[in-house]
Structures are given as C-alpha cells and as structure tokens.
C-alpha cells in the first residue's frame, strides 16, 4: 500500500510477466547465503549449493 494513498501521483503500479524463476539453496543461514552469492558473483564462480530453474 502506498503511504500517501492509491490516488497519489507518486504511486506506481507494476505488472510483471515472469517466464522463469531460479532459486539457490546454499549451506548456512540467510547471511551466509548472501555472502556466498556476492563472493561467487565477484569471482565469476558458481554459487555453492543447490540451484534450480523453473519455466513458468
């Protein structure tokens, strides 16, 4: 919900049509997963853990 209300000029409505989704399940908690993701992206490596892609 928009803080200024739905009639505010600052309110925006987005429509998203997803074709696929992807998720990662890495060992550790949320912070460990986030750090692993950032490290893998910086190094150009694959993220450790399970990775799945789903076509919608």
Q: Check residue 16 and give its pLDDT.
A: 93
Would 1 be classed as within a structural domain?
Answer: no
Would 25 be classed as within a structural domain?
Answer: yes
Confidence of residue 2 (pLDDT cuts 50, 70, 90): low
Q: For residue 29, what are the domain limits? A: 20-55
Would 4 be classed as within a structural domain?
Answer: no
Would 38 be classed as within a structural domain?
Answer: yes
**Coil, helix or strand for 32?**
helix
pLDDT digits (tens, 9 = 90+) for 24-41: 776 778 888 888 888 888
Give the pTM.
Answer: 0.42
Would 24 be classed as within a structural domain?
Answer: yes
State the DSSP string of 33-48. Answer: HHHHHHHHHHHT-PPS
Q: How many domains does the chain have?
A: 1
Would 9 be classed as within a structural domain?
Answer: no
Would 2 be classed as within a structural domain?
Answer: no
């Amino acid at each position: 919900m928009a803080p200024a209300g739905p009639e505010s000029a600052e309110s925006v409505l987005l429509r998203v049509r997803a074709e696929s989704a992807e998720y990662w399940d890495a060992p550790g908690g949320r912070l460990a997963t986030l750090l692993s993701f950032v490290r893998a992206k910086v190094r150009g490596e694959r993220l450790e853990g399970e990775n799945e892609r789903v076509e919608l």
